[in-house]
Chains A and B, each alone.
Chain A
Amino acid sequence: MTQHSRDMSRRRLLFGGAAVGAGVLLAGCTSNEKQTPTEAQTKAADGGGNAEPGKQVTIGFSAPAESHGWIAAITNNAKAQAAAYSDVQLKSVEAGADAAAQRAALSTLIAERPDVIVLLPFDGKELNSFGLEAMKAGIPVVNLDRAFPDAKAYRLQIKGDNYGMGVAAATFIVEQLKAKNVSNPVIAEIAGMDELELTQERTQGFNDTLAQNGLKVANRRAARFTIDSGQQETSQLLQALPKIDAIWNHDDDQGIGVLAAINQANRNEFFMVGGAGSKKAMEDIKADNTVLKATVTYSPSMASSAISLARLIGQGRGMSDLVELQVPKEIILASETITKENASDYLKLGF
C-alpha cells in the first residue's frame, strides 16, 4: 500500500513537473515579435497651413474588435496618426463583438464629451441612430467607411469605393483576357461576407463592368473574410469549375487561404485579382510567382486621413489646399489597381 502510494506520488510529481515545464515553454511561445513590423500609415506634418498646431482637440475613436488584418490596420493607423499631432488626444473605446456592444461602448464615449467622434461602425444602418444622437448633442461625427443612411447623422463621411473596387477588378480582368485573346472566358468570384452591404456593392460593380463587355461570372462563392473560409470556399469553387480563366477574390486577408487552396489543388491555368491591398498580396504580385497578378486597393490609410480631418473639424479649420473654409462632407477614396509594375510604390501602404 505504501509502496503503491509512493509510486503514485512519484508519478504525480513527474506528471506535474512535465505540465509545469510545458506551461513555461508554451508561455514563452506567445512571443510574437514580427521580423518586419508593419509600418503605420501616417502623414507627417510637412509645414503646410494645416500642420500648424491649433487648439487642443479630443477625438473619440471606435472600430470593431474583429481579428482581421484590415480592421487591425485601421485602429493602428488612427492611433499612429493621432500621436503624430501635438494638439490631438485620442480616446479609443473597444467596440465589442457586434453593433449592440458598439452602441453601448459609444454611449460611454458621448458622456465624456470629446470634440469629435471618429467611428467605423459595425453596420452603418444599425448605428445610424447613434450618429444622430451625437450630432444632436453637438459632437461632430466622422463616419469611417460604413455609411450612415441619414445625412444628418454625420459631419464627414470618408470611405473606400466598394463599387469602384469591383469595376477596377473587372476592368483589369477584361483587359488581360482581351490581350490573351480568350473567347468565352470562365470567370469566378470569391466574395466576402454576403450580408454586408460593402460586399454587395463590390459584386455589383464587378458584374456591371463585366456585363458591359458581354461577360458574366460563371460561379461565385461567399467566404467570411477569414483565412479558413477562404480556403474552404475556394477548394469547392475549383472543384466546380475544371477550367477557369480569371478569379476575383474580394479580400487579400482571406486571400491567404484562397491561394493555399489553389496551390493544394495544383491549379495555375488562370490569373487572380485580389482586393484591399495587403502587404503579403503586394509582395506576391511583385515576386510574380503565384497566380495573383493584381489587387485593387481599399486602403486602411483612410483611418489616418479620418483623424487628420477630425482634427481640422474640431479646430474649425478647412483643408489648406482647398478654397472652402471647412472640411467637405464626403470623401470617397479611389480604388487603384496594383500590378507587378507599380507594386513597389504601393508597398508602404500595404497592411
Chain B
Amino acid sequence: MSDGPSTTTQLPAQSAPVDPAATEAAGGRAATPGSAGRLSWWHGDGGEGARRNLALIGVLVVLFVIGAATRSDLYSNPDWVWANMLIILKLASVAGVVTVGMTFVIIGGGIDLSVGAIVALAGVWSTTVATQSFGAGGMIFTAIVVGLAVGLVNGTLIAYGRLVPFIATLAMLVAARGLAAEISDKQTQISQNTTINGIASTNLLGIPLLVYILAAVVAAGWVLLNRTTFGRRTVAVGGNPEAARLAGIDVKRHTLMLYGLSGLCCGIAAIMLTAQATSAQAGMANLYELDAIAAVIIGGTLLSGGRGTIIGSLLGVIIFATITNLFAINGLSVEAQNMVKGGIIVAAVLIQQVQFGTLSQFFRRNRLTTG
C-alpha cells in the first residue's frame, strides 16, 4: 500500500454510485470517495475482487488451451466448441445455484454442510406420488418450501439455539438424508411430469433453460450482495458480528435469513437436478457441500467471513465443471480428475495470494528474505 504510486488514472468502476445503505454497514468495504484520488481503483480494496476474478479467468483460459491442445480434432469444430461450453455451463448450473447460497452463508461468517442433503430431501419430497399429483407447480412449490424450511431450521438452531454452524448443519446433513431415505423408502422416484423434465431439455435461443436459471440466480445474488442493505449487513455480520450488533443490526435474525437463503437455493437446485435426472433419490447431490465450499474458497471468499464475491464463486464452479469436462473428453479416469481438482484448489488460492498489483513487491520481498 505504502509504495503505491500516486496514479490519478480514473477507472470507470470508480464512478459507481455509493449506496446510502453502505453507511450502515460498519465492516463494509470502505471504498470511500475520498481515498480515490490517491489510490487507483485497480490497486485499491475495491479492485481486489476483480483482480482475483481475473486470475480465475486466467485458469479457465489455461484449461481451454489444454483442451484445444489435447483434442484438437474436436476443438477445430466451432459448433462443437460452442456446444461444449453449454454442456459445461449446464453441468455447473445446479452446483452454481447451491454455491450462491453457500457464498452468502460463508461471507456471513458461517458454513452450511447440509446443502447436498437439503437438495436430496427437497428433490425426494417433490417427486413423491402425492406431490406429483399436484403437477409441476406443486412440485416446484414443494421443493422450494422444503428447502427454505430446512434452511430456516438450520438458521434457528445456529442463531437462537447457539449451536456452532459446523455442528448444526452436520446434524442436518445426516437427518435430512435420513428423512429423504424414509420418504422415498430408499427407492428411486421417477418424475413423470414432462414440464419438470422439460426444464433440462428446453433451449431458449440456443441456450439451455438451466443456464438461464443459473444466470438469474447469480444476478439476483450479485444484486442482493452488492446493492442492498441485506448484502451490506451480511458483510458486516461476517466481518465483525460484535461491531455489527453495536451498529444496530439484528445479527441473530440476519443469520437466520442467511441459512434460509441457502436452503432456498437448495430448493431451486433440487428442481433443476430432478429435471436433469428425470428422477430423485435420497443419495443424490452427494458431497455437493464440499464442491460448493471448494468453489466458494477458490472464488476468493474468506472462509472466516466478511469478504467475498458471487462472481468469484461462479467462476470457481465453472472451473470445476471444466476440469470434469476436460478429463471426460480425453477419456481420463475420475480418480486422476479428483487429484487434479485438489491441486487446483491449492493452486488457485496460491495464485490469488500473488496478486498482479503486488507482483513486483512479492518478488522484492522474496529476494530480501532469501538474500
Contacts and interface: CB of A to CB of B under 8 A. Distances in A.
B is a partner of A? yes
Interface of A: 22-23, 26, 28-35, 65-69, 71-72, 194, 218-222, 224-233, 235-237, 239-240, 242, 253, 256-257, 259-261, 263-264, 280
A237 B328 contact: yes
21 contacts: A29-B125, A29-B126, A29-B138, A30-B130, A32-B130, A72-B187, A194-B334, A218-B331, A222-B333, A224-B286, A225-B283, A227-B284, A228-B277, A232-B324, A236-B329, A239-B84, A239-B329, A256-B278, A260-B197, A260-B200, A260-B276
B201 interface: yes
Contacts of A23: 149
A231 B210 CA distance: 14
Given A35-B129, A218-B331, A221-B334, A253 B142 contact: no
B277 A231 contact: yes
Interface in B267-288: 273, 276-286
> Which of A22, A224, A256, A264 counts the most chain B CB atoms within 10 A?
A264
Contact of B190 (A22, A67, A256): A256
Contact of B283 (A33, A35, A66, A240): A66
3 shortest interchain CB distances as A-B pairs? A236-B328, A67-B282, A240-B329
A226 B128 contact: no
B364 to A, nearest CB: 44
A201 B146 CA distance: 41
Contacts of A71: 186
Contact of B181 (A26, A65, A235): A65
A228 B272 CA distance: 11
Contact of B131 (A22, A29, A35, A231): A29
Contacts of B142: 26, 29
B276 A264 contact: yes
A236 B184 contact: no
B325 A26 contact: no
Nearest to B208: A264
A236 B325 contact: yes
B183 A68 contact: no
A185 B180 CA distance: 42
Given A67-B186, A239-B328, A229 B279 contact: no
Interface of B: 74, 80, 83-84, 87, 90-91, 125-126, 128-131, 134, 138, 142, 145-146, 149, 177, 180-181, 183-190, 197, 200-201, 273, 276-286, 324-325, 328-331, 333-335
B336 to A, nearest CB: 11
Given A31-B129, A32-B183, A65-B181, A280 B190 contact: yes
A29 B188 contact: no
Contacts of B189: 32
Nearest to B146: A26
Contacts of B146: 26
Main secondary structure of the interface of A (DSSP, over half): helix
Contacts of A34: 129
A342 B185 CA distance: 29
A68 B186 CA distance: 6
A204 to B, nearest CB: 15
Contacts of A69: 186-188
B213 to A, nearest CB: 15
B145 A22 contact: yes
Residue from A68, A227, A263 whose CB has the most chain B CB atoms within 10 Å: A227
A264 B330 CA distance: 22
A72 B182 CA distance: 12
B275 to A, nearest CB: 9
A270 to B, nearest CB: 17
A236 B91 contact: yes
A230 B280 CA distance: 12
A31 B280 CA distance: 15
A7 B207 CA distance: 46
A233 B128 CA distance: 26
B234 to A, nearest CB: 22
B128 A260 contact: no
A239 B85 CA distance: 10
Given A226-B284, A239-B87, A239-B329, A253 B188 contact: yes
B200 A29 contact: no
A239 B83 contact: yes
Contacts of B128: 29-32
B200 A264 contact: yes
Contacts of A218: 331
Contacts of A257: 276-279
A232 B91 contact: yes
A221 B278 contact: no
A93 to B, nearest CB: 16
A239 B125 CA distance: 32
B324 to A, nearest CB: 6
B183 A263 contact: no
